[in-house]
Amino acid sequence: MIACRFAAALVVLGAALASCEESRAPALQPGSLPEGVVARVGKSEIRVETLQRIALAQDVSLRQARDRAISDAVFAERARELLPTSTEQVIVRSALARALLEQIRSEAESRGPPTDDEIASLMRERWLDLDRPRSVKVSHAVALLPKGGGSDGARRVALAVVEAVRGISDPEAFLKAARAVPSGDIEIRAEHLPIMTADGRSFTLDEAAGPRELSHFDETFARAAAGLSEPGSQSGLVETRFGFHVILLVSVLPERHLAPEDGRQVLADEVRSRRGAELRRGVLERLSASTQVSFARDVEARTAELFPAPR
């Protein structure tokens, strides 16, 4: 029985929330009402300022605003009949919260088109999709500096690697030749690396998951890698804080750049969404600071039965 009443109430509530569509208002019965009140529906009074807010928010005439307000009030009265008091209170709280969120959304939109700073911030954040510089994929072999210090031994091994891989353009053959160089107590690390930019940013391009940013590479190494122009070409000896490298260019990815004027159009919705999120955070912080929230001491026990324990 309760489930049926609740389902019926949801239908009523859904109709009320959909009142932005044209609906036929109930027949009006003239009567004596207090100053500023234009209609009374059951226990609910509809005031002039309410009609003004509806008319402005929905861009309709005052007559249309009156009809919509009355229809909403009728639905609300019916919902009160169907729902227990506790459920009605939940719905009222939800409706008020939704009204506040709608106000925040309107405020975000009222700020106008995206600004240059907002576009620039998003372009920096989403550089992989919108503002990616020329990037390279490389393989390398490095003679690592020993933990005890001193670089002479690592340099000698690295020079031997340079000779061993000279003229090799195939990445797998490059790594195999580098690993075969006698190195004594100096470690040679030969590996394929992810795509990187000249300033050391690195990323992957997964067809299913899309581009994903990874950690930064040493900028000295990244600049040397980006300085190679043709796939199959090699660097000379490149010294970094890790050791001495030889780099093989595997492929080049051209830059991808979205002009600011195009970004303004493409990113408009995201800018408005972020404005709204920022406003919501601000409102929540202010309300949280001025609102006392208390929890039952056994809140975990009281709510444990609502959801199954995680496995």
- Predicted pLDDT of residue 15: 41
Residue 143 contacts residue 188 (beta carbons within 8 Å): yes
| Closest C-alpha to 8, from 84, 93, 105, 97 | 84
47-61, 95-109, 135-149, 155-169: least confident range: 95-109
- Predicted pLDDT of residue 3: 40
**What mean pLDDT comes out for the span 10-14?**
40
- Predicted pLDDT of residue 293: 59
| Closest C-alpha to 247, from 274, 275, 226 | 226
Neighbours of 140 (CB within 10 A): 23
The backbone torsions φ and ψ at residue 38, rounded to the nearest 5 degrees and listed phi first, read: -100, -20
Residue 216 contacts residue 200 (beta carbons within 8 Å): yes
Neighbours of 182 (CB within 10 A): 9
With residue 279 as reference, give the H or E element that holds it: helix 268-290
The structure's pTM equals 0.56
Interval 226-262: pLDDT, tens: 999 999 999 999 999 999 999 999 999 999 888 777 7
Q: What is the mean pLDDT of the chain?
A: 78
Q: Which residues contact 284 (CB under 8 A, 6 or more apart)?
A: none
> What's the CATH architecture for 134-254?
Roll (3.10)
131-132 and 188-192: which strand pairing? unpaired
Q: Which residue has the higher pLDDT, 124 or 14?
A: 124
| pLDDT band for position 196 (cuts 50, 70, 90) | very high
The number of CA neighbours under 13 Å toward the Cβ of 25 is: 17
Greatest Cα pair distance in the chain: 103
With residue 186 as reference, give the H or E element that holds it: none
Interval 184-193: pLDDT, tens: 999 999 999 9
Distances (CA, A) of 91 to 19, 147, 221, 248: 16, 66, 60, 65
Q: Where are the CATH 3.10.50.40 domain residues in the chain?
A: 134-254
Residue 226 contacts residue 238 (beta carbons within 8 Å): no
- Predicted pLDDT of residue 228: 97
Length of the chain: 311
Distances (CA, A) of 3 to 7, 81, 83, 230: 6, 15, 11, 70
Q: Which residue has the higher pLDDT, 215 or 264?
A: 215
**AA identity, residue 107:** E
Question: What is the C-alpha to C-alpha distance for residues 69 and 161, in angstroms, rounded to an integer?
Answer: 81
- Predicted pLDDT of residue 87: 58
Q: Residue 143 pairs with which residues in a beta bridge? A: 188, 244
Query: Which two structure tokens, joined as six digits, stand for 120?
Result: 């620039």
- Predicted pLDDT of residue 217: 95
Interval 121-158: pLDDT, tens: 888 888 888 889 999 999 999 999 998 777 899 999 99
Q: Which residues contact 230 (CB under 8 A, 6 or more apart)?
A: 249
Helices 2-17 and 62-82 cross at an angle (nearest 10°) of 170
218 pLDDT higher than 60: yes
Question: What is the C-alpha to C-alpha distance for residues 81 and 145, in angstroms, rounded to an integer?
Answer: 80
**AA identity, residue 15:** A
